[in-house]
Amino acid sequence: MTYPDPDFNNAIGELVAPVRINIADRHEDFRAATVMTKIPYSPRFRFFSSDQKRLLREWTGWMPTAELIAEMYIARAIDFLDRKNPLAAVEEYDRALELAPEGPAVAEILYRRGMAAFLGHKFDIDLLKRDWQAVVENHPGTRWALHASVIADTQ
């Protein structure tokens, strides 16, 4: 079964290396795959690090295509930052925001982008403040706003 959207299918081919399991085909790995997921429906998305050692993002169920593709960019950004390439991470976060500027991950994106920009631009606190202040002001009550609230201590 595939996600029935051409934008998603283009993104999945360009941004990640997908593993698809056809639930109608009872091949030898089917049992192992279904035991691992333990869910009765799909889609289930898991994004792993480029070294395939860490699970970066995971969720189950449908979401708007733009938000789903934004999740791919977020996973790639986390991977870039883990691999000590913060400026590439900033670019991926920018792409995610461009695709889903009102999506549910905006507070997280701003928080993480602020940190990546801070690290990538030799600890430029103004870049961190800009994004973290936006999180605090525009996304109150989120866990990301709680984490970013320490930015007030840098005044």
- In this prediction, residue 120 carries a pLDDT of 96
Q: What is the pTM of this model?
A: 0.76
- In this prediction, residue 68 carries a pLDDT of 87
> Is there a cis peptide before residue 6, judged by omega within 30 degrees of 0?
no
Contacts of the segment 43-47: beta carbons below 8 A, 24+ positions apart: 43/1, 43/3, 45/71, 47/16, 47/71, 47/72, 47/75
Show the domains of the chain with their CATH numbers. 6-147 (1.25.40)
- In this prediction, residue 50 carries a pLDDT of 87
Ordered per-residue pLDDT tens for the chain, 155 residues: 356 677 777 777 777 666 555 555 555 665 665 565 555 556 678 888 888 888 888 887 778 889 988 999 999 999 999 999 999 999 999 999 999 999 999 999 999 999 999 999 999 999 999 999 999 999 999 999 999 998 877 76
